[in-house]
Structure 1
């Protein structure tokens, strides 16, 4: 299924919106896993929030790897959808699943050996370390389920059926909340597990979501059992081709996730109140930011389909121009959401220490400006990836993260007396650093003439 409009006069903003709004809601619910857990355990105090922040930073590394390869699979499937080749779709789906499952298995093995020393080195006390270990043990189920769920989501997104992944979260989120509350507080006969109970709710929801999308895929395609052969002759050859396409995209997302989680682990060296404030605001940054990011992701999917169907020139120019102008409106919406969250934080987190609430309020100038360069950079990055310039995009992300944000974060965190708002402002400065590299490449226009390898 393709999302390309049959009528060439259809507004580009409308085409992207129809694809983007389910992506946005689904992404909000995905990132909302941590927001929900943080809200549900916030009443247990700053130490419980510190447990969640530490455990989520470690688990986020693995989830980021899975999301990385799934995003690569999504672009590959969008290209396949543009060509209308059923064997291409089948090859992209099963190659993506194989890579995700292998990455999950390797990641869980590494987690079993490395998580303990990391937790012991960063936890403020023995209770936080013990609870973080327990949380991660249960959260491993979430990681395993998401290895399948995210790949299936990528398949449906790439073929234009973005509502089905959204429906999986509409099914899973209420289950997550209900089960989490029961196991956090020991209600309805469940054991009282405190912060670990939040992981039980997330695991239950993740398994349900993966099963739902698996059933949807079976009912629609029977897992492509009736499609003969593979895109490149054999599954092994198709897997190699998929991996060759995916690794720069995956490396970009992995680098971003690792950098973010390394920074989150560095934040653990702040005092408890500052760390609690960062733990609470970062999921909100991701959740609200999905409005702009999903718009850019939808733009990339449609660009990939346009290139796959060889619809370039004026059609591509018109689409991208309209989508980009609307992206600035989306950035304004994100900024308004951020300011609303900050304004309501004294009521949302009324049980927090006054110092923690004051720290949250100090973040508003950064949050007001951040969505605009971030959204424009995302449009550039997703467009260039769809055209095959994955290595260039990877370099822009990797060097801005590891030559700037991570080392400067370490410097500011480890230097005594630096206000935490300075640490938080590095998110904005990083986007400003990436801005000229992305926009100069896009405006040069070479990518429009590139041949998309299929």
Structure 2
């Protein structure tokens, strides 16, 4: 059978996809809009402030990716269990995800509050950047627990077909974050001008607001799961723990090492100078804006393939995989074009030096090439393959090509050979190109379809 014959044309399938896809995209648009406004507001304070916040947030990305790993592992289980009509199993998984997230949140909060200066010194040698970043990390240490809980709640609701919660929380936090940052960074409405510390407080207020919205929705409004938090204080069953860690550990390790590799890239750029750090932060903002649709496609891919496998519709799952591959290619090409069109304009929004502008322009061109492969590997790896239960394979490819190709090559061309920003960015993102190609072959093999044991259990 030709590949084009495997593409799904059923209208009902696309209606279900859009019910997940559109809220996730809108949520991502709002989140990235907040990130862009944050960066612009902080950027008006100069290179030191934007470098400090960028590097401090790299440490936060460890926790964020860890929570995404926990939620991603839960997504595999909840999607397949929901497809198999096992609501009780979904509720037990919900409890376990919250338990793990709170535990990780406490750990990161303690470290961030206790040794923020040590954390910042890992990323750069500039005393001014370390000083500002230390203040930022201390304040944002209170963010970990509420953000982690909100993320789990939104992802579990998304896995059972209700993607609206994440959108609602993002809308609410958008206004809280923008208003808080404007008032506290610049000293409006009678408040003192706090600078970068004000941005940290604004972020904290937004995350607390997110938690309030999530809790009200899940506990009072939702009529699908009817979740009650009493189970969070109970020990999870042995079979659930075994299955979660069998599928979840590869997801958690993969996402954690992804965060570690992002931190390694920041360390490489940090030791090349604060202009490189500022440039990379600027490039990342427009990159995220131009890859928003990939997150929605990956979420829809993971959930739809998981539902099909849970319902034992394996041929439909395979066809869904090819359909989402085509979607990923289309989104990648559009993202590349947007970066080329909007790149220079986005750089002009920042109050940075001439050298930073030159470096950022070079990185933008490199990113327009990389983003095509970045989106394909995201939709296929984080979406289709993980949704199919193939999390171990995704983890192996992540680890091997990040740490055996991208990071060593990035270090060599950046620190040792002092090559151009264009070459440095291509080097540190080489793994995206390799993984996109490998995932296409994995999809075609059909070996990625693996039903979970929890989904097989009788109700």
Q: Structure 2 length normalisation: TM-score?
A: 0.89
Q: Which residue is equivalent to 1:380?
A: 380
| In 2: Cα distance, 1:303 partner to 1:121 partner | 40
> In the alignment, is residue 360 of structure 1 matched against residue 364 of structure 2?
no
* Other-structure match for 2:390: 389
- Alignment partner, residue 116 of structure 1: 117
Report the Cα distance in structure 2 between the residues aligned to 1:439 and 1:336, rounded to whole angstroms.
23
Task: Give a deviation string over 1:129-165, Cα, whole Å, max 9, x none.
Answer: 2211110111112222111011001111101111221
1:244 aligns to 2:246 (yes or no): yes
Please list the CA deviations of residues 367-416 of structure 1 after superposition, one character each: whole Å capped at 9, or x if unmatched: 32223222222333222222222111100011111111222222233226
Cα distance in 1, alignment partners of residues 53 and 347 from structure 2: 20
| Alpha carbons of structure 1 residues 126 and 427: separation in structure 2 relative to 1, 3 Å | closer
Offset of 1:323 from its aligned partner?
Answer: 3.0
1:71-95 alpha-carbon deviations (Å, 9 max, x no partner)? 2222222122112212111111111
1:312 correspondence with 2:314: yes
Flag structure 1 segments of 5+ consecutive residues without an equivalent: 1-6
Q: Deviations over 1:29-81 (max 9, x none)?
A: 44555433211111111111111122111222122211221222222221221
Give the C-alpha shift of residue 223 in structure 1.
7.3
Q: Which residue is equivalent to 1:57?
A: 58
Asked if 2 retains the 8 angstrom alpha-carbon contact of 1:82 and 1:306, the reply is yes
Please say if 1:452 is aligned against 2:449: no
Q: Distance in 2 between matches of 1:222 and 1:17?
A: 19
Do 1:72 and 1:246's aligned partners in 2 also have CA atoms closer than 8 Å?
yes
Q: In the alignment, which residue of structure 2 is the partner of 1:267?
A: 269
Name the CA distance, whole Å, in 1 between partners of 2:54 and 2:80. 37
Residue in structure 1 matched with residue 413 of structure 2 by the alignment: 412
Q: Tell me the equivalent position of 1:87.
A: 88
Say if 1:221 and 1:120 are closer, same or farther in 2 by CA, change over 3 A: same
Match of 1:292 in 2: 294
What are structure 2's unaligned runs of at least 5 residues? 1-7, 455-459
- Counterparts of 1:94 and 1:203, CA distance in 2: 25
- Deviations along 1:283-306, whole A, 9 cap, x unmatched? 332342231232122111100011
Query: 2-side partners of 1:262 and 1:333: how far apart?
Result: 29
**2:202 aligned residue:** 201
Preserved CA contact (<8 Å) 1:182 1:188: yes
Identify if the C-alpha distance between structure 1 residues 265 and 169 changes in structure 2 by more than 3 Å, giving closer, same or farther: same
Residues 294, 9 of structure 1: alpha-carbon distance in 2 compared, 3 angstrom cutoff: closer
Please identify, of 111-120 and 365-374, the stretch whose mean Cα deviation from structure 2 is larger: 111-120
Identify the residue that residue 105 of structure 1 maps to in structure 2. 106
- The correspondence of residues 180-199 of structure 1 with structure 2, limited to 5 A, is 180-199=181-200
Q: CA 1:234–1:180 in 2, change beyond 3 Å: closer, same or farther?
A: closer
Q: Which moved more, 1:241-250 or 1:154-163?
A: 241-250
Equivalent residue for 1:45? 46
Contact 1:74 1:155 survives alignment (8 Å) = yes
Alignment of 1:157-172 (within 5 A): 157-172=158-173
Cα shift readout 1:163-187 (whole Å, capped 9, x = no counterpart): 2211110111111011011111111
Q: Which residue of 2 aligns with 1:3?
A: none
In structure 2, how many angstroms separate the alpha carbons of the residues matched to 1:8 and 1:45? 51
TM-fit CA distance, 1:280 = 1.5
Any conservation in 2 of the 1:12–1:323 contact (CA below 8 Å)? no
> How far does residue 102 in structure 1 lie from its aligned partner after superposition?
0.9
User: Which is further off, 405-414 or 110-119?
Assistant: 110-119
Range with greater deviation from structure 2 (206-215 or 33-42): 33-42
Q: Which residue of 1 aligns with 2:5?
A: none
Aligned to 1:301: 303
Tell me the alpha carbon deviations over residues 240-299 of structure 1, each in whole angstroms, 9 at most, x when there is no partner: 432332111111111111111221122111222222111221233234223123212211
> How high is the TM-score relative to the length of structure 1?
0.90
CA RMSD across the alignment: 2.7
1:380/1:80 CA distance change after superposition, 3 Å: same
